[in-house]
C-alpha cells in the first residue's frame, strides 16, 4: 500500500498532466440520491465520491490507460465475453415480469410499424 505522501505526489502529477483538473478541492456530487443517503447516515461525501462526475471519469480513464500501458489490464476473450453474456441472459430471464414487458414492447414496436405501413398504403 502506498503512503499518503506518495498518493499526494500522484495527485499532483495528475494535476500537472491535466490542467483542467487543477482544483483538487472536493466538489459536491450532483446526484440527489447520494445527498439523500448521506443525510440519512450523517456521513459527508469524501474523496472520489465528492468529486463531480467529469473529474471522476477523467481520473478513471487515466487509470485504465495506465493499466493497458503496463499490460495488466484485463481484456475479455470472445469466449469469456460469450460466457458472461450467457450468464447475464440467464439471470435476466428468471424475472418473468421483466421478460413479459420486453416481449410486449417488442410486439408493440413490430405491430406499430405494420400499422404505419398499412396506413401509408391506404392513403395512396
Domain boundaries, the chain: 4-70, 78-123
Angle 48-23-73 (CA atoms, 0-180°, nearest 5)? 45
Angle 32-33-35 (CA atoms, 0-180°, nearest 5)? 65
This prediction has a pTM of 0.35
Nearest alpha-carbon partner for 110 in 102, 98, 121, 122: 102
Q: Average pLDDT of the chain?
A: 77
Q: Mark out the alpha helices in 18-77 (DSSP H runs).
A: 32-41, 53-70
Could you report the per-residue pLDDT of 33-85, keeping only the tens digit for each? Answer: 555 555 567 788 889 889 999 999 999 999 999 998 998 888 889 999 999 99
Q: Identify the DSSP state of 53.
A: H
Q: Around Cβ 55, how many Cβ atoms within 10 Å?
A: 19
Higher pLDDT, 26 or 61: 61
Amino acid at each position: 500500500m502506498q503512503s499518503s505522501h506518495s498518493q499526494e505526489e500522484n495527485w499532483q502529477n495528475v494535476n500537472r498532466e491535466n490542467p483542467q483538473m487543477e482544483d483538487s478541492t472536493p466538489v459536491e456530487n450532483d446526484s440527489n440520491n447520494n445527498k439523500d443517503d448521506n443525510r440519512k447516515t450523517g456521513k459527508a461525501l469524501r474523496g472520489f465520491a465528492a468529486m463531480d462526475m467529469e473529474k471522476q471519469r477523467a481520473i478513471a480513464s487515466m487509470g485504465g490507460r495506465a493499466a493497458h500501458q503496463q499490460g495488466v489490464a484485463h481484456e475479455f476473450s470472445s469466449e469469456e465475453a460469450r460466457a458472461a453474456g450467457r450468464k447475464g441472459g440467464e439471470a435476466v430471464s428468471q424475472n418473468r415480469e421483466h421478460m413479459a414487458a420486453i416481449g410486449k414492447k417488442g410486439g408493440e414496436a413490430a405491430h406499430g410499424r405494420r400499422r404505419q405501413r398499412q396506413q401509408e398504403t391506404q392513403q395512396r
